[in-house]
Structure 1
């Protein structure tokens, strides 16, 4: 039996009672796009010419459930994975590749063990059209460039007077042996706080990634991220701003630093939602070689979107986005990157799509 979902259900010995305690949920999100990446620093031979594609974006399916243990305490579990509805799984679809965990919830909050977004991602920026080419908050995007934490323990506090706190720790189980014979430690920890009151939501977060390697040589002693965001809702209008700073404590030479900021707005007009977003990645500072000092790693991205709700769960949408890389920058789209983007090229996408949540 090759289907992982069927295999998991069979191994669990699914009964009618077990299914009653489980929820199946997900998002299917596909778009027809025209994309290109031209203007490469090395010349037109490095350009990605205009091409059409169908993208699955972040389509996913998940299974979750809970058990009442008494005294206000519940056991929680979840398995979630991305699925490729565009090509049958050639690029995505790893079992439990997204937030998957077992944990407890009670008056103390939540404690989770597994593969899960860190506390750093506990609150988000205002993104008019998430999980696609018009997004900018993924590992290839210009902002929020941190990954999901494997082998992690997560804590989320109960909400009190508008405040929600979070903490994360991820162990480095590989502990790669470096070129000098020592074992690296890439452990990750994060702290975050969010405040929400009426139309206002604000948050701050910090994450430290442990030792960073280049091959088996120590590149940086650690990598730090800080961010802050603010969102405000005024009737059918929502406004958001955010800033993020990254610092690499280099093993040799001067530390490297880079800052990004963003601003976005959405406007509801009946069943329509219009969105506009801009994000800018500043210059890389602190590099200690002539090559890096002269290089320009700045980038920015515009995104314009419109969505029409067919129902509470189904939406049609269209968008245009352009990412401008300076001479040395190679930034790409978030969850739908263009293959072969060269330094200095400018990824551009225009498309229409459909999203359904269940």
Structure 2
């Protein structure tokens, strides 16, 4: 029965894009598929380049809200799944969970619970010009987490400018700090952000404490949790887009610590968007340095459709490894 309902949802999405029924859910999604040539050099035996077709976090979902009969409240919900356009297989499954939650919204703000992106991950805004493809900032940056069992409260936009997001995550008997004892508290992990957004300006500061994650360059292998502080800034003057991100991350129960920087920019000329991005992370203990440089161009076919081409190179200095990717692709939102 569940498979039949899912098939109906897929059919509805294809037949009626952006469908919103009266007092019902909106069916939405994105198909982002690219043909890529990748080459990996480990400093000893460089690999031959290989061609791949990738799905780049293509997705299908439903979301919506409806009025409740109490204090002007609304119920909110979202169920979003990743789909594999290339081969229909995502770790042995056709659909894998992305952002899924239920909650309440009213004059007090928004309260939701489920599995979704942390406030720190969301704090990047739209600074990542190569999100979901080979140049994604997650290759050089910790903190890009979508977590389970998360409860989040968000204030209304204060002064039509600032929003506070505060989330907590019970560990549910998992040992997240590596001390040998499982955690059973209500807020074993926290993630908070303060976001300011107005016209062409975007700014955010966030912090994660005891987040289950790994460092990029300074991982010691002894601590399953890290603390992260992130600051992001974005500007969109005219046809330009400028983004910057600074982050520090350290292991909670070990010595690993690293500092990260992201710089991005784009320029729009009619239907064409030219973009560039640089990312770098330095390890304090290991002295390892990871750098990623990406260049690309998008051509807008319609409001929700584009084709693109890009190249990216990811390098680890001490490990003497280098990965180079060139790709062409298309993205259609519905």
- CA deviations on 1:147-176 (whole Å, 9 max, x unpaired) are 212011011111122101101111112425
- Out of 289, 292, 296, the position equivalent to 1:298 is 289
**How far is the alpha carbon of 1:279 from its aligned partner?**
0.6
- For the 8 Å contact 2:177–2:224, the answer to whether it is kept is no
Secondary structure in 2 aligned to 1:3?
A: helix
Alpha-carbon separation, structure 2, partners of 1:32 and 1:309: 18
- CA deviations on 1:40-78 (whole Å, 9 max, x unpaired) are 24x11xx43200010001100001121111443100111
**How far is the alpha carbon of 1:99 from its aligned partner?**
0.7
- Structural mapping, 1:115-264, within 5 Å: 115-125=115-125, 126-136=127-137, 138=138, 141-161=139-159, 162-176=161-175, 182-184=181-183, 187-209=188-210, 219-220=222-223, 222-251=225-254, 255-264=255-264
For structure 1, list consecutive stretches of 5 or more residues without a partner in the other structure. 10-17, 329-343
- For the 8 Å contact 1:211–1:220, the answer to whether it is kept is no
Alpha-carbon separation, structure 1, partners of 2:329 and 2:179: 51
* Match of residue 103 from structure 1: 103
For structure 2, list consecutive stretches of 5 or more residues without a partner in the other structure. 10-19, 215-220
- For the 8 Å contact 1:261–1:281, the answer to whether it is kept is yes
Alpha-carbon distance change, 279 to 179 in structure 1, aligned in 2, over 3 angstroms: closer
Q: Does 1:313 align with 2:299?
A: no
Alpha-carbon distance change, 238 to 3 in structure 1, aligned in 2, over 3 angstroms: same
Secondary structure in 2 aligned to 1:159?
A: coil
Higher RCO, 1 vs 2 (CA within 8 Å, ≥6 residues apart): 1
* Match of residue 32 from structure 1: 35
- CA deviations on 1:218-266 (whole Å, 9 max, x unpaired) are 9338510001011111111011111011011335xxx221001011111
Secondary structure in 1 aligned to 2:129?
A: coil
| TM-score for both structures, normalised by structure 2 | 0.85
| TM-score for both structures, normalised by structure 1 | 0.80
Alpha-carbon distance change, 96 to 188 in structure 1, aligned in 2, over 3 angstroms: farther
**How far is the alpha carbon of 1:127 from its aligned partner?**
1.8
Aligned residues between the structures: 312
CA RMSD of aligned residues (A): 2.7
